[in-house]
């Protein structure tokens, strides 16, 4: 048996990353229903923006927690009085505010294929908006399961949504990386021991994933921590 020289540091197997937790709005897609989207809606439908914003903030959390349907939300926020347009017309406009972030979708898809990752969405979204965005942008092609606030009836920053995600994913905390664009949500996840990346742009997020051994580039694999299988103790 080899004897360690004085001062030589012990090595232990590195925890392999086996699962990605990913937000939808701000990471894979644009945010679903933002202040800017509501401002455009107020102009398009000739609505009082200040009144709509006040009503929105009073009830949107309840919609995202799956305790209201989209029609009920719109009934409180827009159709609390007679309008010269229909709920269907407004829903179509609302859904059309969503746009993809193709580079991030491609990155997560490639990492899943290359590294055999589970991919879980952890997101605050209402049911109808969530369903539209999953279908329209084909997120189900690479996402394995959805811990959406509308399904589990709890929203970020409540730490329970991350605990639920870990239970559903059935992976140890140290094998998960979470990609999120909201600093507070990153801090909450990190407080539970989940490695987290504050997403600001594709380039920096890809670099941080590379440093964790999750690369979609053959040239980077030789230098990745997961390639050696060891980390310093």
Task: Give per-residue pLDDT as tens, 154-196.
Answer: 999 999 999 999 999 999 999 999 999 999 999 999 999 999 9
In CATH terms, the fold of domain 35-95 is DNA polymerase; domain 1 (1.10.150)
3-class DSSP assignment, residue 32: coil
User: Which uninterrupted H or E stretch holds 230?
Assistant: strand 230-232
pLDDT of residue 217: 76
- Please give the residue that has the higher pLDDT: either 10 or 58: 58
Average pLDDT of the chain to the nearest whole number: 90
User: Considering only CA atoms, which of 154, 105, 123, 112 is closest in space to residue 31?
Assistant: 123
3-class DSSP assignment, residue 229: coil
Q: Residue count of the chain, please give it.
A: 233
pLDDT digits (tens, 9 = 90+) for 23-37: 999 999 999 999 999
* DSSP-assigned letters across all residues of 138-182: TGGGT--EEEEHHHHS--TT-THHHHHHHHHHT--GGGEEEEES-
pLDDT of residue 14: 53
- Predicted confidence (pLDDT) at residue 107 exceeds the cutoff of 50: yes
Write the DSSP symbol of residue 2: P
pLDDT of residue 231: 41
Residues 177 and 209: their CA atoms lie apart, in Å, by: 9
Residues 187 and 156: their CA atoms lie apart, in Å, by: 11
Write down the pTM of the prediction. Answer: 0.86
3-class DSSP assignment, residue 202: helix
pLDDT of residue 211: 94
Residues 6 or more apart whose CB falls under 8 angstroms from that of 225 comprise 14, 211, 212, 213, 231
Confidence of residue 218 (pLDDT cuts 50, 70, 90): low
Confidence of residue 216 (pLDDT cuts 50, 70, 90): confident
In CATH terms, the fold of domain 11-31+99-232 is Rossmann fold (3.40.50)
- Which residue ranges make up each domain of the chain? 11-31+99-232, 35-95
- 170: phi > 0 → left, psi -120 to 50 → alpha, else beta; which? left
Span 64-76, average pLDDT: 98
pLDDT of residue 80: 97
């Amino acid at each position: 048996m080899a004897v360690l020289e004085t001062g030589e540091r012990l090595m232990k197997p590195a925890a392999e990353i086996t699962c990605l937790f990913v937000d939808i709005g701000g990471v894979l897609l644009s945010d679903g229903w933002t202040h800017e989207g509501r401002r455009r809606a107020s102009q398009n439908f000739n609505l009082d923006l200040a009144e709509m914003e006040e009503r929105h903030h009073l009830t949107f959390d309840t919609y995202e927690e799956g305790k209201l349907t989209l029609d009920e939300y719109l009934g409180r926020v827009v159709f609390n009085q007679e309008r010269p347009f229909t709920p269907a017309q407004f829903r179509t406009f609302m859904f059309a505010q969503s746009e993809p972030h193709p580079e991030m979708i491609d990155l997560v898809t490639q990492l899943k294929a290359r590294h055999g990752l589970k991919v879980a969405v952890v997101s605050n979204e209402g049911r109808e908006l969530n369903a539209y965005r999953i279908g329209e942008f084909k997120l189900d092609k690479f996402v394995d399961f959805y811990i959406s606030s509308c399904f589990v009836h709890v929203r970020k920053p409540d730490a329970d949504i991350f605990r639920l995600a870990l239970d559903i994913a059935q992976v140890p905390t140290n094998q998960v990386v979470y990609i999120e664009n909201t600093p507070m949500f990153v801090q909450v996840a990190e407080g539970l021991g989940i490695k987290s990346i504050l997403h600001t742009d594709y380039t920096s997020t890809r670099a941080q994933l590379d440093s964790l051994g999750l690369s979609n580039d053959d040239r980077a694999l030789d230098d990745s921590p997961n390639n050696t299988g060891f980390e310093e103790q």
